[in-house]
A = this chain, B = another copy of it.
């Protein structure tokens, strides 16, 4: 295990590197107020810490920088989340005080404030629809042969989809269908809609509806509904201010990834509740090898709803960011619960 002094020095180095982004030398460590050893002593300890894998050298005559293992240790044992300043708290509050017309808007605003406060890039996944249940379904004919199908969930989420209408379908017939659907499907989780359609509703419709086959095709179209969550970014360019991204090639690679919503969604989606911190290669995704991704979740009424994350360099202001993420996670959940609880 590490000695008390090693811990002190490791923390000092990481803190310093996090703020200055430059390799830390023995002299500057020994000059810190809380450290009372000569550069030579520090050098010896640094050498040991390097051997243990917590530090590394960019080249032989530079100072040390934290290794991935170093950051991991720092996050797990050394750091304590920083309390938010009253300014930060009031920033968050003031954003949430605005009126929002849609749940997605709240999500987007959260992403924005997160990126503003942290100066990194924030990524927020829209509410995961599949846990919500059907509130109402509506089919509005638009033209001779097309209609818009609208699905409203209990969380106020609205999905809509243009579908093509079977030739010569009677409007009254359509209305009957919609009524039956609303009757039978209210309260059913969205994921089960298709199952339910084939297993139960099919038989009922058969009895009442003339154009059974074409209506079923129509409904299948409707419920094929793409389950893809929306991905919201904010502060994409924030991360460019970090010196580690002073290279166009790097920027290009990163921004290319930003355009792949499905990929991002998969990377961000956290396994469970609470906060996840993935440092460098822990992301198991090569372009993020020198990024840290911190994710947290938000919920409504204790029910998991979605995930939001912060992407920055591994050299991230962990204490502050973790503090903010924690606060925002709770605050956002509170806001949403207030709004959408049953």
> Is B140 a contact of A135 with CB atoms below 8 Å?
yes
Name the B residues within 8 Å of A342 (CB-CB): 143
Report, as a range, how many residues of chain A touch the other chain: 35 or more
Complex A-B: 14 CB contacts under 8 Å: A101-B161, A102-B160, A102-B161, A140-B152, A142-B152, A142-B155, A143-B339, A143-B340, A146-B156, A236-B258, A236-B259, A237-B255, A246-B248, A248-B251
> Is A255 a contact of B240 with CB atoms below 8 Å?
yes
Query: Once the chains are docked, how many angstroms separate the CA of A256 from the CA of B121?
Result: 12
Name the B residues within 8 Å of A154 (CB-CB): 142
| Least Cβ–Cβ distance between A144 and chain B, in angstroms | 8
Assuming the A-B contacts A140-B152, A245-B248, are A146 and B237 also in contact, with contact meaning beta carbons closer than 8 angstroms in the complex? no
Query: Once the chains are docked, how many angstroms separate the CA of A168 from the CA of B136?
Result: 21
Given A143-B340, A146-B156, A248-B248: 4 more A-B contacts, CB < 8 Å:
A101-B161, A142-B155, A143-B341, A255-B255
Contact residues of A: prevailing secondary structure: mixed
> Is A142 a contact of B135 with CB atoms below 8 Å?
yes
Within residues 55 to 105 of chain A, which ones have a CB less than 8 A from any CB in chain B?
100-103
Name the B residues within 8 Å of A155 (CB-CB): 142
Within residues 121 to 165 of chain A, which ones have a CB less than 8 A from any CB in chain B?
135-136, 138, 140, 142-143, 146, 148, 150, 152, 154-156, 158, 160-163
> Is A102 a contact of B162 with CB atoms below 8 Å?
yes
A199 within 8 A of B: no
| Least Cβ–Cβ distance between A222 and chain B, in angstroms | 9
- Closest B residue to A251 by beta carbon equals B251
Name the B residues within 8 Å of A196 (CB-CB): none
> Is B162 a contact of A156 with CB atoms below 8 Å?
yes
| Least Cβ–Cβ distance between A95 and chain B, in angstroms | 17
| Least Cβ–Cβ distance between A108 and chain B, in angstroms | 11
A3 within 8 A of B: no
Query: Once the chains are docked, how many angstroms separate the CA of A313 from the CA of B177?
Result: 54
Query: Once the chains are docked, how many angstroms separate the CA of A236 from the CA of B138?
Result: 37
